[in-house]
């Protein structure tokens, strides 16, 4: 079920599914899904999902010239500021610094 859930997450990065939706799609309760993620990945579902979205954002920041607002949209963040805050929390610097370092 964890692999199935990860596949769903990866195909819904721009329009993230809720934990309840993912659980229903893999025929588990939300609680069972959380337990499976903690057992297999040592992290809650939401954290794994956010990290997948941030990994894509980082790749887009490094490899494209897309505006940050568009990258936020493509990775399921409701605003550029939300992407920037999550990016800084995960990687220790804002997306613009990542882009500058990649050039």
What is the tens place of the pLDDT at every residue in 69-99? Answer: 999 999 999 999 999 999 999 999 999 999 9
11 pLDDT higher than 90: yes
2 pLDDT higher than 90: yes
DSSP string, 11-74: HTSSSPPPHHHHHHHTT--HHHHHHHHHHHHSS-HHHHHHHHHHHHHHHHHHH----HHHHHHH
- Mean pLDDT, rounded, for 34-61: 98
- Which of these, 64, 103, 66, 61, lies nearest to 86 by C-alpha position? 61
For position 103, what pLDDT does the model report? 84
DSSP secondary structure letter of residue 13: S
Q: Which residue, chain included where needed, has tokens 């799609």?
A: 25
């Amino acid at each position: 079920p964890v692999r199935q859930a990860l596949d769903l997450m990866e195909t819904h990065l721009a329009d993230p599914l809720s934990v309840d939706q993912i659980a229903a799609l893999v025929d588990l309760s939300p609680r069972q899904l959380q337990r499976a993620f903690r057992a297999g990945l040592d992290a809650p579902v939401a954290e794994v999902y956010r990290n997948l979205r941030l990994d894509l954002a980082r790749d887009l920041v490094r490899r494209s010239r897309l505006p940050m607002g568009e990258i936020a949209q493509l990775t399921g963040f409701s605003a550029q500021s939300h992407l920037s805050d999550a990016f800084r929390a995960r990687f220790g610097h804002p997306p613009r610094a990542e882009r500058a370092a990649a050039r």
